């Protein structure tokens, strides 16, 4: 099952472009008749000026199962010029590099439902809107409570009492005008799910989830179904993408290649490759051959299976005894095979969950127990109509009893050890949606939805459970510590207690960097109440400015912020999330040159440092300062769909600089300049030549022209080959290759092209003839 296009419904044009143009009509003007289900729409050629009206409207669609009284849509400029397949490469450059153009097109054609707009749901929706799916429908029948403000960055105290979905639309729409965002505030019926390629539920009872999941599986084509929950320091995800889901690309990596050195005439054949780069093949991989001289039978493009893969050789499961004798050359390339996954339904998986995805091998026994705990919690809520009360031993014991009953009826899947202490923590925090947990699971679920819509990357199969009970305070918590204080932090207090909340509010925090990670950190810290007392202070610094490409992942910024300082805009944005936050924004680079700004007193007063940097040198410097002043450091980084994190605690863990990553593979310069045979070689060569002619040489010439005598003296004192080379280049640039007119520049470029791509190639072939 691959993601499908939205079907053309009655009244729609058969032309897909017209269909999407209809969907992206510029404005809907609200009127006094809105409450009766009537609405007035502008013509399709509404001018941009008319579209700036701030009112949203209640609209209905004759081709939808959703009632007009329950849907609200903000004005949108969904697909620009009516062409849905246009990808804004400036905005989505990073995503294009990771997913590729075809995957992005599938993603841009996907309609997604997110049900439950508490902390977890809004973070999932935020990630999908930034990713650029076609549409996101927000569903929630409940209203905003003060309790929600500890985990939901969209809501403010002014939103208390409003419907959660309606209160979320405007701020989510600001993140990406190319995504159509609508809301559903009435009871959800299973037939309405047919409008979507993927549906996500974050606040649904087990019985209804099973009903919806069965409908999604039986629908043709199947609808990807994701159920996720965050309960205090515990979380779960369940994925079902249908009975047969095809993963087009399991890992998203480029196919591995190798240059052939020899192939034997055997059964099976032994293949060796040149030893300048290790092979990345694995046993069972399929490969194809090209440009093989002599054994031309292998150049037929047929995928062949390999085994016994080694760093520079492998065995080909092919009889080559009747093939020609290998002479020279050839490239072997991995063939990426689609993978078909057979998901089980939620109904089946609850009884027989199969293998759980592990995130911490020291907790290998936790997922089976948490599988029972989440089922028991659903039973508790359905019977009592509420969650367990934080600190209530009676409620905790009732939940533990339910877990035991479910376990006894589990048959072969029975858990040997019911951990009452763990289940007690689970019961106490069951009502709370904690922001850090919601942020983590929001990222996971957002990624799973993108996998479902695109078919790229292996999805979560099928249950994932996670807990972070080690985050609890070490000292015992009294029930009185967990009581709500009628504040926006009550959900957090119900898990960690009021004493820890006070420490968070008094904290002195230094956040270095306000890019993609920095925005997330700042949002998390603000929602948690960090540095929100008069004694607390948060300092954020970043010397960069906002670019358009930042907007697809750095959600605190908007298009009108382009060109402004990142730290200043980020600080203003998080102050809106939590007005009590005490934050100072700086534009200084952290390094030896700014130790007058970040002096000893500054470092000594800090409680924790959080890195959100994009280069190793800055990370090492901050790490050394934290090591010297004995400050905790949270280090992290991302690369495409990969990430890492490291918590550095003084006297407990090693510091960031204690271990270094292995150096990246680099080809010898002789290979790069004379025999570049892969993309990396060609890029390295092109960059070297470009910098030499268009950066380094002009810089040397300018240095000479600004002070000829001093420059000549410096070169003379150096007296090495590099100095001589620099002088020769300066002489060429000012004499033999001097360009005074535009025509001279064209002539110079044409001669360089002839030299690089004709003369040098001919010389190389002459020096190293083909039959040598």
Distance CA 579, CA 676 (A): 57
Q: Are 302 and 252 in contact (CB under 8 A)?
A: no
User: Hey, which residues does 234 pair with through a beta bridge?
Assistant: 231, 467
Active-site entry in 670, 682, 733, 745? 670
Residue 503 backbone phi and psi in degrees, to 5: -65, -40
DSSP 360-418: -GGGTTHHHHHHHHHHHHHHHHHHHSSPPPTT-HHHHHHHHHHHHHHHHT-GGG--S--
502 burial via Cβ count (<10 Å: 0-12, 13-18, 19+): middle
Distance CA 289, CA 300 (A): 8
Q: Kind and range of the H or E element at 295?
A: none
Neighbours of 367 (CB within 10 A): 20
User: Hey, which residues does 215 pair with through a beta bridge?
Assistant: none
| Cα separation of the two ends of the chain | 53
Distance CA 340, CA 397 (A): 43
Q: Kind and range of the H or E element at 26?
A: none
Q: Peptide bond preceding 221: is omega within 30 degrees of 0, i.e. cis?
A: yes
Distance CA 512, CA 586 (A): 10
* Backbone angle region of 717, left / alpha / beta, with phi > 0 → left and psi within -120 to 50 → alpha: alpha
Distance CA 106, CA 87 (A): 11
- Torsion of Cα atoms, 695 then 698 then 700 then 704, to 10°: -160
Residue 72 backbone phi and psi in degrees, to 5: -130, 135
Residue in this structure with the two tokens 């970043």, named with its chain if needed: 542
**Any residues with CB less than 8 A from the CB of 364 and at least 6 apart, and which?**
358
Neighbours of 696 (CB within 10 A): 14
Q: Would strands 537-541 and 583-586 be described as parallel, antiparallel, or unpaired?
A: parallel
Q: Are 314 and 307 in contact (CB under 8 A)?
A: yes
519 flagged as catalytic: no
678 burial via Cβ count (<10 Å: 0-12, 13-18, 19+): middle
Residue in this structure with the two tokens 């390629």, named with its chain if needed: 197
CA neighbor of 589 nearest in space, from 570, 549, 617, 563: 617
DSSP 292-360: -BS-GGGGG---EEEES--SSEEEESS--TTSPPP-B--EEEEEPPPEEE-PPPHHHHHH---SPBPS-
Residue 237 backbone phi and psi in degrees, to 5: -140, 135
For 189-300, list the strands marked E by DSSP. 198-201, 224-231, 234-240, 245-247, 257-263, 269-273, 286-290
CA neighbor of 2 nearest in space, from 110, 83, 74, 130: 110
CA angle 321, 324, 328 (to 5 degrees): 120
Q: Kind and range of the H or E element at 706?
A: helix 697-706
Residue 459 backbone phi and psi in degrees, to 5: -75, 170
3-class secondary-structure state, position 443: helix
Distance CA 200, CA 241 (A): 12
Residue 354 backbone phi and psi in degrees, to 5: 75, -150
CA neighbor of 357 nearest in space, from 344, 368, 342: 368
* Sign of the CA dihedral running 448, 526, 515, 623: negative
Active site residues: 670
């Amino acid at each position: 099952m691959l993601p499908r296009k939205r079907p053309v419904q009655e009244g729609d044009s058969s032309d897909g472009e017209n269909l999407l143009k209809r969907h992206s009509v510029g404005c809907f003007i609200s009127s006094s008749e809105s409450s009766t289900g009537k609405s007035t729409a502008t013509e399709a050629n509404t001018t941009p000026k008319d579209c700036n009206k701030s009112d949203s409207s209640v609209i209905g669609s004759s081709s939808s199962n959703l009632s007009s009284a329950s849907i609200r849509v903000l004005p949108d400029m969904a697909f620009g010029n009516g062409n849905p397949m246009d990808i804004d490469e400036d905005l989505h450059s990073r995503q294009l590099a990771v997913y590729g153009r075809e995957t992005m097109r599938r993603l841009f054609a996907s309609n997604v439902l997110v049900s439950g707009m508490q902390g977890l749901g809004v973070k999932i929706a935020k990630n999908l809107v930034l990713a650029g799916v076609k549409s996101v429908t927000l569903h929630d029948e409940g209203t905003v409570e003060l309790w929600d403000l500890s985990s939901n960055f969209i809501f403010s105290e002014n939103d208390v009492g409003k419907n959660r979905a309606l209160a979320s639309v405007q701020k989510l729409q600001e993140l990406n005008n190319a995504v159509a965002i609508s809301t559903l505030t009435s009871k959800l019926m299973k037939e309405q799910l047919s409008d979507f390629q993927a549906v996500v539920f974050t606040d649904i009872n087990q019985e209804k989830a099973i009903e919806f999941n069965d409908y999604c599986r039986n629908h043709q084509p199947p609808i990807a179904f994701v159920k996720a929950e965050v309960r205090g320091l515990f979380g779960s995800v369940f994925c079902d993408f249908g009975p047969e889901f095809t993963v087009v690309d399991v890992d998203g990596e480029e196919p591995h290649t190798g240059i052939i050195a020899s192939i034997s005439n055997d059964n099976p054949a032994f293949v060796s490759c040149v030893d300048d780069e290790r092979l990345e093949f694995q046993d069972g991989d399929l490969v194809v051959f090209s440009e093989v001289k002599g054994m031309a039978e292998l150049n037929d493009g047929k995928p062949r299976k390999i085994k016994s893969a080694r760093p520079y050789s492998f065995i080909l499961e092919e009889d080559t005894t009747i093939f020609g004798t290998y002479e020279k050359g050839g490239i072997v390339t991995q063939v990426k095979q689609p993978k078909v996954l057979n998901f089980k339904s939620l109904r089946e998986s609850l009884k027989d969950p199969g293998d759980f995805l592990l995130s911490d091998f020291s907790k290998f026994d936790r997922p089976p127990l948490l599988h029972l705990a989440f089922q028991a919690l659903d039973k508790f809520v359905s019977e009592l109509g509420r969650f367990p009360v934080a600190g209530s031993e009676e409620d905790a014991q009732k939940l533990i009893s339910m877990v035991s009953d479910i376990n006894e009826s589990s048959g072969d899947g029975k858990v040997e050890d019911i951990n009452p202490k763990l289940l007690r923590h689970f019961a106490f925090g069951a009502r709370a949606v904690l922001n850090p947990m919601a942020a983590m699971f929001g990222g996971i679920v957002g990624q799973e939805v993108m996998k479902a819509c695109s078919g790229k990357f292996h999805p979560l199969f099928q249950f994932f459970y996670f807990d972070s009970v080690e985050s609890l305070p070490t000292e015992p918590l009294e029930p009185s510590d967990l009581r709500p204080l009628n504040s926006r932090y009550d959900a957090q207090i119900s898990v960690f207690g009021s004493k820890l909340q006070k420490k968070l509010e008094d904290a002195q925090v230094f956040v270095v960097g306000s890019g993609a990670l920095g925005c997330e950190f700042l949002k998390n810290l603000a929602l948690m109440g960090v540095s929100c007392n008069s004694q607390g202070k948060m300092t954020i610094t970043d010397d960069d400015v906002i670019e358009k490409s930042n907007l697809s992942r750095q959600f605190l910024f908007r298009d009108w912020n382009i060109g402004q300082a990142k730290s200043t805009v980020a600080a203003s944005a998080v102050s809106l999330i939590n007005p009590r936050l005490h934050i100072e924004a700086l534009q200084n680079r952290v390094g030896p040159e700014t130790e007058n700004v970040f002096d000893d007193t500054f470092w000594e007063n800090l409680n924790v440092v959080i890195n959100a940097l994009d280069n190793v040198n800055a990370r090492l410097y901050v790490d050394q300062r934290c090591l010297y002043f004995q400050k905790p450091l949270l280090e992290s980084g991302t690369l495409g769909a990969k990430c890492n994190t490291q918590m550095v605690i003084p006297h407990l863990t090693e510091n960031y600089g204690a271990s270094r990553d292995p150096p990246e593979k680099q080809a010898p310069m002789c290979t790069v300049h004379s025999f570049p045979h892969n993309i990396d070689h060609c890029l390295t060569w092109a960059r070297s030549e470009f910098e030499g002619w268009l950066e380094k040489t002009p810089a040397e010439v300018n240095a000479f022209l600004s002070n000829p005598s001093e420059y000549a003296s410096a070169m003379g004192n150096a007296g090495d080959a590099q100095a001589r080379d620099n002088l020769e280049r300066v002489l060429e640039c000012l004499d033999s290759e001097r360009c005074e007119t535009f025509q001279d520049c064209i002539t110079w470029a044409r001669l360089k092209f002839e030299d690089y791509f004709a003369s040098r190639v001919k010389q190389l072939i002459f020096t190293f003839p083909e039959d040598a």
